[in-house]
Structure 1
Amino acid sequence: MSATVRIKNIQIGGGNRIAVQSMTNTDTLDTHATADQLKRLQLAGCDIARIAVSSEAEVNACAAYIGKFDMPLVADIQFDYRLAVKCAEIGFDKIRFNPGNIGDESKVKYTVDACKAHGTPIRIGVNTGSLEKEFSGMSKSDALVASALKHVRLLEKFGFYDIVISVKSSDVKTTVDAYRQLAAKTDYALHIGVTESGADERGVVRSAIGIGALLIDGIGDTVRVSLSGDPVKEVAAARLILQEAGLDKDYCEIISCPTCSRCKYDLKSAVDELKAATKDIKKRVKIAVMGCVVNGPGEASDADFGVAGGASGKAALFERGKVIGTIDVADIVPTLLKMINDKIADDGNN
């Protein structure tokens, strides 16, 4: 089990719930646009939000965001250690930087001392694009791990242990190999993700393969799905990955079959309507919408309840795989919604 790190009002590592992260892509100096995006991220379920800070003017702008959101805010620093120091001083909840980009050890120590003084954790973020030349003879995954551990030892040299590590690549296999190695060599909390994964479906699939493989291995304490475009979509994708990995069970899960010629009703429309009606439910409920009774109730026997289409506009209604009645296909959605609401009410009273 990884070590616990407190970031403002949440704890990561140590068996705590896996936190979802994202990053603003507005102009940091545009306080209206950035604050609005941070609000949208928080409403979408983002647990930790990162902001790029590249100048003293941007540090000053960030003072407008500190303390205004329930979710912790992380300063993303590249190259200038003085900005990291100032970000710790104004109250950022965590600093992310690559010590290899900061400069000599004295500058790293200066940064570490500031973070110590203000109780600010540090994420060591190593990407394949920022690897030192000394690791050029290694495979990319080996080099990522070697670089990260080198920087960990440097922070430990200065008596700093409030550390989170990430080792990312845009290549899924490199990313997974690196994190598996790292998890075997350290118990520091790990932030996982596939960097520069792209946009839309391909970016989500690439991230889901890499992040999902690690989560199923029990690796990862925070996650980010890195997508080009609106970062709110990153949060939605991350939540889905956590749900499908079995690590977030507080939602209404809908399973449905791919259908074949035996399906005699508009299954897809029923699923879409149910998804829209249950999207805000934060309780564990599993329902099944199946095309026919050939194997519907059996395949979905672990669902709380569900339906399987039949002939003449009828559908079998079942609970835990046992058929309990027959309803008109026109009543599928209202019947299931009532059963969902009744279950949630019953669970709340028990």
Structure 2
Amino acid sequence: MIIRKKTRQIHVGNVAIGGDAPIVVQSMTNTDTADVESTVEQIHRLQDVGCELIRVAVPDVDAARAITEIRSRIAIPLIADIHFDSRLAVEALEHGAQAIRINPGNLGGEDKLARVVDAAKLHGVSIRVGVNSGSIEKDLLQQYGYPTPEKPDALIQSALRNVALLEKHRFFDLKISIKSSDTLTTIAGYQQLAAVTDYPLHVGVTEAGGLIPGTVKSSVALGILFYDGIGDTFRVSLTRDPIEEIKVGYELLRSLRIRERGPEMISCPTCGRTRIDLFSLAEKVEQHLQTMESNLKVAVMGCVVNGPGEAKEADIGIAGGNGVGIIFKKGEILKKLPEKELLPVFLEELDKMEQERKQKQG
């Protein structure tokens, strides 16, 4: 049984982080933030698959000022990602950012940090203290060395030093992240940090890579941390459409039985009995499931012989044959159809089950 480490609770907009709140799934846009239409369109797609917080890059004043309109057209809280320039942090807050991500030590000195803190207090927003392996102060690197799994101290001390800068200004509405591109360093760093602070933690592997390596690295690191009860919000960082980050994130939570959103799909790996384009079929079913909310178990199997038997625990399933296929529920055959009719009829059945469950719930 997973027992979450109890952290203090903060808010980003109306989303609670830490305390007894569920682990929050977030992502970051890869559009030009100043391009409001493209940014809003991408956030809408992310909302549709369950993204709960969205972060946008703020590299210039135009991006900061675009936040007002972006916020007015989306339904989830917006975080501004700031590097080096305290003026952009203040500008983003003045234009409606509901949280900011900063490294307090690189904003140009205590006076500039104080202006950012004053603006955050004025607008009632939280701050993420974000430290990466590549942004650690030189004196800490000299003292502790570059972070490794055996000695991640430089990451931890950098984070605590920057937290202390905010605490000095009587600001405590914050969360912490200490990211590395190395899986084992990420795990060791967060384990040690969690032992010395009760601030909520944003966890993740930075620069994790493309879909396959990024998913594996993030799943290993985050899976171990979540199993240890560490982590209050997270992003699966992929060199990919950010939609994939949310999909991987929820599957990760589901695999640990922490949170479930929408249907679970099970599918066979194919074998010599497969006589249908199972890869394409599974992909199309998976895309449809992303639009659903009900907690169904859905099976996509490669052959009629073993499909219903191997996947009899599924609420509904599909199995291909040689030019034909079947739809089954709880292991019992519901319909036998020509291959060309199989997918559209199956999607109709899924939608019916979705509606039936919604009606029962309310």
What TM-score does the superposition give when structure 2 sets the normalisation length? 0.80
Aligned partner of residue 65 in structure 1, secondary structure: helix
Distance 1:215 1:299, change over 3 A: farther
Determine the structure 2 residue equivalent to 1:227: 238
Determine the structure 2 residue equivalent to 1:98: 103
Is 1:284 aligned to residue 289 of structure 2? Answer: no
**Percent identity for Structure 1 against Structure 2:** 43
Aligned partner of residue 46 in structure 1, secondary structure: coil
8 A Cα contact 1:265 1:329, kept in partner: no
> CA-to-partner distance for each residue in 1:38-77, whole Å, 9 max, x for gaps?
3343344322222222333433333332433221111111
Is 1:191 aligned to residue 202 of structure 2? Answer: yes
Q: Which runs of 5+ in 1 are unaligned?
A: none
Q: CA deviation at 1:270?
A: 5.7
In 2: Cα distance, 1:27 partner to 1:346 partner:
40
| Corresponding residue to 1:250 among 242, 251, 261 | 261
> CA-to-partner distance for each residue in 1:296-323, whole Å, 9 max, x for gaps?
7786565446578999x8989673xxx6
Is 1:45 aligned to residue 50 of structure 2? Answer: yes
Distance 1:267 1:347, change over 3 A: farther
Determine the structure 2 residue equivalent to 1:144: 155
The amino acid across from 1:8 in the alignment is G
The amino acid across from 2:254 in the alignment is Q
Determine the structure 1 residue equivalent to 2:70: 65
Is 1:24 aligned to residue 35 of structure 2? Answer: no
Distance 1:340 1:87, change over 3 A: closer
The amino acid across from 2:159 in the alignment is A
Determine the structure 2 residue equivalent to 1:169: 180
8 A Cα contact 1:314 1:326, kept in partner: no
8 A Cα contact 1:267 1:290, kept in partner: no
Determine the structure 2 residue equivalent to 1:241: 252
Q: CA deviation at 1:274?
A: 4.1
In 1: Cα distance, 2:163 partner to 2:213 partner:
33
Determine the structure 1 residue equivalent to 2:3: none
Q: Output aligned runs, 1:101-112, within 5 Å.
A: 101-112=106-117
The amino acid across from 1:198 in the alignment is G
Q: CA deviation at 1:219?
A: 2.0
The amino acid across from 1:112 in the alignment is V
Q: CA deviation at 1:283?
A: 1.0
The amino acid across from 1:70 in the alignment is A
Q: CA deviation at 1:165?
A: 0.8
Q: CA deviation at 1:138?
A: 3.8
Distance 1:185 1:294, change over 3 A: farther
The amino acid across from 1:275 in the alignment is E
In 1: Cα distance, 2:64 partner to 2:126 partner:
18
Determine the structure 1 residue equivalent to 2:224: 213
Q: CA deviation at 1:16?
A: 1.9
The amino acid across from 1:179 in the alignment is Y
8 A Cα contact 1:19 1:223, kept in partner: yes
Aligned partner of residue 125 in structure 1, secondary structure: strand
Distance 1:52 1:272, change over 3 A: closer
In 1: Cα distance, 2:38 partner to 2:353 partner:
42
Distance 1:62 1:326, change over 3 A: closer
In 2: Cα distance, 1:316 partner to 1:115 partner:
55
Distance 1:68 1:293, change over 3 A: closer
Q: Which runs of 5+ in 2 are unaligned?
A: 1-5
> CA-to-partner distance for each residue in 1:320-342, whole Å, 9 max, x for gaps?
xxx65697586987579748845
RMSD: 3.4
8 A Cα contact 2:276 2:321, kept in partner: no
My pick for the range that moved more, 117-126 or 95-104, is 95-104
Distance 1:329 1:146, change over 3 A: farther
My pick for the range that moved more, 338-347 or 165-174, is 338-347
